[in-house]
Structure 1
Amino acid sequence: MILVTGGAGFIGANFVLEWLRSCDEPIVNADKLTYAGNLRTLQSLEHDSRHVFARVDICDRQALDALFAVHRPRAVLHFAAESHVDRSIHGPGEFLQTNVVGTFTLLDAARAYWNELPAAQKESFRFLHVSTDEVFGSLQSADPAFNERTPYAPNSPYSASKAASDHFVRAYHHTYGLPTLTTNCSNNYGPYQFPEKLIPLSITHALAGKQLPVYGDGKNMRDWLYVGDHCSALRTVVERGVPGETYNIGGWNEKANIDVVHTLCDVLDELRPTASGASYRKQIEFVKDRPGHDRRYAIDATRIGSELGWRPAETFDTGLRKTIQWYLNNTAWVEGVTSGDYRNWIDMQYGHSR
């Protein structure tokens, strides 16, 4: 049995689905079910005895202790987090609570459980903390990509909260010996992503005939990682990673935001042409940049490749095409998550609704 936190969110749910497609080891899935957690994503597991869902807040120590006592996991994969930079600017307190206090609470519950394990189980136990490249701050165009030795320099409330959680994970290994692993990944995209992030937002707005908002001049650079590749990397790290170490996970796909949207429009032009025949590119609209918008992130994923033998299977083009096709085939899922609260958020963030 493994314990996954945040397993109804985007990356966590993809991990749960991939795990149970490829092996029979059960999962206990703890998720608070905030706006970004969606049990419809896990609908195919509704009658699968290998998947045990528990609606649990990671800040609730009593509930966490009960999960450990009942299910006796051999590993924890910690996905649960508030993860959207824009939301952290408007409401940083929730990010502090979930990402810092929640991670600390989970770590302390895991340590108490781990301390009581028999020697062999104690030796093999792992706690994998899933983090972000945003903790490293922003790069200039000529700077080398982030590696595992890059100093932390978070620039948003979100990245600051994730940096703090990373430090707690490191401290629990060095102070208490808890066998932790930390991964710092680049921008994920793929199926089941909540449509507030750039790629699913652009897909859903394009199909609805709305403007495609792009911050600033659109030249902010990101490395793009297909979520299925991220899941395979996490499996590799939890199986072969060295306790106490960190591993950067990237897709080797550094792209400017405007180039991402242009490519997306071109694929949609092919797969779902507009009624008028006009390109979806005509719907692109540049909007006021967000405060403190980091200019460039880039991940050097050499270490996980050379030490653990992992590399992404998807290029940006193949991953994006799979992603767009998934959204075209799953409009009911999209409609189910785009609630009134979501539409209100889009109006607040971008200043209009079209």
Structure 2
Amino acid sequence: MILVTGGAGFIGSNFVLDWLAGSGEGLVNLDKLTYAGNRENLRSVEKHPGYVFVHGDIGDQGLVEQLLARHQPRAVLNFAAESHVDRSIHSPGGFIETNVVGSFRLLEAVRGYCDSLPAAQREAFRFLHVSTDEVYGSLAPDAPAFTEDHKYEPNSPYSASKAASDHLVRAYCHTYGLPVLTTNCSNNYGPYHFPEKLIPLMIVNALAGKPLPVYGDGQQVRDWLYVGDHCSAIRRVLEAGRVGETYNVGGWNEKPNLEIVRTICALLDELRPKAGGGSHAEQVTFVKDRPGHDRRYAIDARKIERELGWRPAESFETGIRKTVRWYLENPDWVARVQSGAYRQWIAAQYEQAA
């Protein structure tokens, strides 16, 4: 049995589905079900004999302690996080509460549980913390990609809160001997991605005939990682990663945001042409850049390949085609997650054109 936190969110739900499809091991999913957490993502496994869902907060230390005592997991995987930079700029408090305070309380519960285990079980136990490349800050256009030794220079409330949680995880390993593993991933994309992030927002807006808002000049560069590849990397780190180590997980796909948007438009022109003719690219609208927008992220994922033999299976071309097809085939899911609160947020966030 493993315990997953945040397993109803985008990356977490993909991991839960992947784990239950390919493993004979059970899984407990603890999720707070904030706006981006969606039990519908996991409808196909709700009756799976090895799956248990618990509605709750990682900041509820007592609840976590009860779950650990009841289910006796051999590992805890922490996906739970507030993760949207724009939201962190407008409302940083929730990011501090979940990503910093919540991580601390989760670590305290796990530390107590781990200390109570017999020696052999403690030796085998792992706490895997899922983090982001944004903790490293921004790269110059010609700078080498982020390695695991790159210093932390977070530039947004979101990335600062994730950096703080990474430091806590490291400290609990160094001070208390908690057997931890940390992964820092690049930008994920794929099925079940809440449509506030770039790729799903572009897909759903294009299909609805709405503007495709691109920040600034659209030349911000990110490394793109298909979520299925991220799940396989996490499984591999859990299986064979060295205790106390950090592994950067990337897709080897550095691309500017504007190129991503144009690729999506071209795929939609092919797979779902506009009824009146023309290209979806005509909907691209440049909007005022967000404050402190990092110019470039890039992951050097050679360590995880060298030590654990992992490389992404998807190219960006194959992964983005799968992603666009998924959104085309699941319009009901898209409609249900686009609540009134979501629409108000999008309107407020992108109301100003550049």
Fold agreement, TM-score > 0.5: yes
Work out whether 1:194 is the aligned partner of 2:198.
no
Displacement of 1:24: 1.6
Identity %, equivalent residues? 68
Deviations 1:144-176 (A, max 9, x none): 000000000000000000000000000000000
The one-letter code matched in structure 2 to 1:36 is: A
Cα distance in 2, alignment partners of residues 23 and 80 from structure 1? 22
Work out whether 1:80 is the aligned partner of 2:80.
yes
Work out whether 1:348 is the aligned partner of 2:344.
no
Q: SS at 1:134's partner residue? A: helix
Work out whether 1:50 is the aligned partner of 2:50.
yes
Work out whether 1:301 is the aligned partner of 2:317.
no
Work out whether 1:220 is the aligned partner of 2:220.
yes
Number of residues of Structure 1 aligned to a counterpart in Structure 2: 353
Partner of 1:6: 6
Work out whether 1:285 is the aligned partner of 2:279.
no
Partner of 2:119: 119
Normalised by the size of structure 2, how large is the TM-score?
A: 0.99
Partner of 2:210: 210
The one-letter code matched in structure 1 to 2:269 is: D
Q: SS at 1:53's partner residue? A: strand
Report 1:1-354 matches (<5 A). Answer: 1-351=1-351
Query: Where in structure 2 are there 5+ consecutive unaligned residues?
Result: none
Displacement of 1:352: 7.0
Q: SS at 2:188's partner residue? A: strand
Deviations 1:66-96 (A, max 9, x none): 0101010000110000000000000000000
The one-letter code matched in structure 1 to 2:104 is: F
Cα distance in 2, alignment partners of residues 47 and 227 from structure 1? 24
Q: SS at 1:343's partner residue? A: helix
Deviations 1:255-306 (A, max 9, x none): 0000000111001100000011211000000000000000000000000001
Deviations 1:177-233 (A, max 9, x none): 000000000000000000000000000000000000000000000000000000000
Displacement of 1:45: 1.0
Deviations 1:234-264 (A, max 9, x none): 0000000000000000000000000000111
The one-letter code matched in structure 1 to 2:259 is: D
Q: SS at 1:144's partner residue? A: coil
Q: After TM superposition, which residue ranges in structure 1, 4 or more long, deviate above 3 angstroms?
A: none
Cα distance in 2, alignment partners of residues 82 and 352 from structure 1? 25
Q: SS at 1:8's partner residue? A: coil
Deviates more, 1:343-352 or 1:200-209: 343-352
Check the 8 A contact 2:287/2:352 in 1, yes or no.
no
The one-letter code matched in structure 2 to 1:7 is: G
The one-letter code matched in structure 1 to 2:292 is: G
Q: SS at 2:152's partner residue? A: coil
Cα distance in 1, alignment partners of residues 46 and 58 from structure 2? 23
The one-letter code matched in structure 1 to 2:52 is: V
Q: SS at 1:348's partner residue? A: helix
* RMSD of Structure 2 on Structure 1 (CA): 0.8
The one-letter code matched in structure 2 to 1:124 is: A
Deviations 1:106-156 (A, max 9, x none): 111000000010111000000000000000000000100000000000000
Check the 8 A contact 2:10/2:37 in 1, yes or no.
yes
Cα distance in 1, alignment partners of residues 49 and 350 from structure 2? 43
Cα distance in 1, alignment partners of residues 68 and 124 from structure 2? 16
Check the 8 A contact 2:132/2:183 in 1, yes or no.
yes
